[in-house]
Structure 1
């Protein structure tokens, strides 16, 4: 039996499935998008992201399950019944979808015109939105006169025209260069803070999730593989899909050292330590030496801060000549980290 709507949620999906023939694009998905949060949904191509977002905006009807937008069940609504619901949901696309024959102000005003808003009201709202996205001087321009980043800013402004409760962003930065991507993500975050707008962000890039999302859901083959707060999922990924997606952001042992690793015990052990949260705020090396008498040398690694929490991957070199002392060091690190692993051994200085 479906649960009662929760006023704290803008979107509620309960056991939603969508099949194409006998193949499930999404299979038994349940999730909530909380009012005012930025939820990132990530997965590889074919994971079900596009089908999921099309079900949420009513372009696809699920074969089973419940979808509620602001408490209203939309799964069985007709096209005409969906129109007022869609006005509460703004959409930002990967390739902007601006009308080339219309000026920027006319592109932004289009949803307001369709909704029957008077010209003077449309003009005022368009001016507000152009200020919000910092493109007030582009009102009379055409899309062909704008850069990719400017086009996406206009796409965001248009999506906000009808003052939606929810903004759906479908790979909104995939066609942009890194610097422009950063500026668009900062804009979305500012809009989230200033307007209290709820954002559901579909992406295949973990770096986008890291920079902007409060919470992340990882999709794999149409099902939820993992979910949680961004910093915790990044620090302690449990699903193989998540671990694979994070590889591009996770420091790797330098090739020159990796090529020298041996499984046979030699002079020094090379140890990978993953650390986060409170444990990452303590003086790890000093504590290790104090507790075990063992000195570790830092070979490589990095620390990051996500949602005000430190997260790091460190590669350490520890003497393996005294196996009992090495074991004590590994035991200590294991107890005081998210994960500790001896990768192999090297002879001499690494």
Structure 2
């Protein structure tokens, strides 16, 4: 098993090489008593990039986002927003900087006694803008999120998805450099989640807005993020382009988190597997990028006829990159090594998961 402190370097997106950092964390540590909530986190987010941070409950996600918006002070390390270290700023100094950071929340946090347009305009009222300017900006944002017809409505009359759209519009009111999303789709049904993610991606493209997503939902990261960072025990244990990490996770924690969306060996077969080399050898075969588009199994059949059977799997596309995972069975022990050699020669990542004696 990989050590929790091991960070696996994976190819980053071209965007990360071209744009300046909006966020940069360097060796950030935050302890609560003897518990290390953040244990030396170093991370950057480029302008216009969507970074997903995934991890289990208690991994450090919430503490990380609170350090980013200044609600939590690190014990050591630096947190820079657009090149300015915020860790030593006073509360008064933090106020104008917080306007550069928009927040959307899991439970919306709308004020029930205010109309939709008043909720959206609230940050601008606090900032001291005239009413006409506030309402003009609120109208622009409600049009952006598709809720122009709800300006005079109250939150109680809105669906969950509509409330989150209001929350997004409010977060954009001050023209932030960074949008923080804290489990923003966790309270929504799958169809509404898809619509909200599509909206965030559209806003990202139209406004060149940097977005940092904190989530435990792998599908959220898979759908819209450019890069992903996996946090566990307060440490970043793996990061890289989403398609690369999702197709070839290196850390055991990452593999476990991705089990919900990657093809898995059917449970009734998995339960029969033994490490005793008797019966059918069951292999996992992973490919990504151009290799996933080749006729791998047709070529294997031509090279080694009747050497395997396809058990389960398929091809997905993440960030327009093909990502494939299959499970195959090899019954003849004499064919196992040749099959392994052929697959590895075609850049496939292959693992013998075990043996199914029932196939005899």
- For the aligned pair, the TM-score class normalised by the smaller chain equals over 0.9
SS in 2 for 1:30: strand
Which residue in 2 is equivalent to 1:66? 78
| Residue in 2 that maps onto 1:141 | 153
* CA 219–262 in structure 1, closer or farther in 2 if over 3 Å, else same: closer
Q: CA deviation at 1:268?
A: 3.6
Alignment of 1:75 with 2:87, yes or no, is yes
2:284 is aligned to: 272
Q: For residues 58-77 of structure 1, give each alpha carbon's deviation from its aligned partner in whole angstroms, at most 9, with x where no partner exists.
A: 00111101111011111010
Q: Which residue of 2 aligns with 1:229?
A: 241
Answer yes or no: is the 8 Å Cα contact 1:235–1:338 preserved in 2.
Answer: no
CA contact (8 A) 2:116 2:151 kept: yes
Q: How does 1:96-245 map to 2 (within 5 A)?
A: 96-245=108-257
- Is the 1:38–1:199 Cα contact (8 Å) retained in structure 2? yes
Q: What TM-score do you get using the length of structure 1 for normalisation? A: 0.93
Q: 1:14 to 1:267 in 2, by over 3 A?
A: closer
1:340 aligns with 2:351: yes
**Equivalent position of 2:336 in the other structure:** 326
CA change 1:286–1:329 in 2 (3 A) is same
- TM-score, length basis structure 2: 0.91
What runs of 5+ residues in structure 1 fail to find an aligned partner? Answer: 1-5
| Aligned residue in 2 for 1:29 | 41
Give me the whole-angstrom Cα distance separating, in 2, the residues matched to 1:230 and 1:284.
24
The answer for the alignment partner of 2:293 in structure 1 is 281
**Residues 33-52 of structure 1: matches in 2 within 5 Å?**
33-52=45-64
State the alpha-carbon separation in 1 of the partners of residues 76 and 359 from structure 2: 62
Deviation at 1:108, TM superposition (A): 0.3
Counterpart-to-counterpart distance in 1, 2:274 and 2:29: 48
- Residue equivalent to 2:14: none
**Equivalent-residue separation in structure 1 for 2:66 and 2:275 (angstroms):** 50
**Structure-1 separation of matches of 2:79 and 2:19:** 14
CA contact (8 A) 1:9 1:34 kept: yes
Name whichever of 73-82 and 247-256 sits farther off. Answer: 247-256
Instruction: Tell me whether 1:87 sits opposite 2:96 in the alignment.
Output: no
Greater RCO (Cα-Cα under 8 Å, separation 6 or more):
2
Q: What SS is found at the alignment partner of 2:283?
A: strand
Distance in 2 of aligned mates of 1:55 and 1:271: 44
Which stretch of the first structure deviates more once superposed, 57-66 or 280-289? 280-289
Residues 294 and 326, structure 1, Cα contact 8 Å, conserved in 2: no
The number of residues matched between the two structures is 342
How far did 1:240 drift? 1.2
Preserved contact between residue 227 and residue 233 of structure 1 (Cα < 8 Å):
yes
Q: 1:260 to 1:29 in 2, by over 3 A?
A: closer
Q: Aligned equivalents of 2:196 and 2:29: distance in 1?
A: 32
2:28–2:76: 8 Å Cα contact kept in structure 1? yes
1:136 deviates by 0.6
Contact 1:275 1:339 in 2 (8 A): no
- Give, in angstroms, the shift of residue 235 of structure 1: 0.9
Shift of 1:266: 5.3
Contact 1:271 1:344 in 2 (8 A): no
Is residue 277–residue 354 contact of structure 2 (8 Å, CA) maintained in 1?
no
1:41-96 CA-to-partner distances (Å, cap 9, x unmatched) read 11111111111100010001111011110111110101110111111110001110
**CA-CA distance at 1:332 after TM superposition:** 1.5
Q: CA RMSD in A?
A: 1.8
Q: Aligned partners of 1:339 and 1:309: how far apart in 2?
A: 20
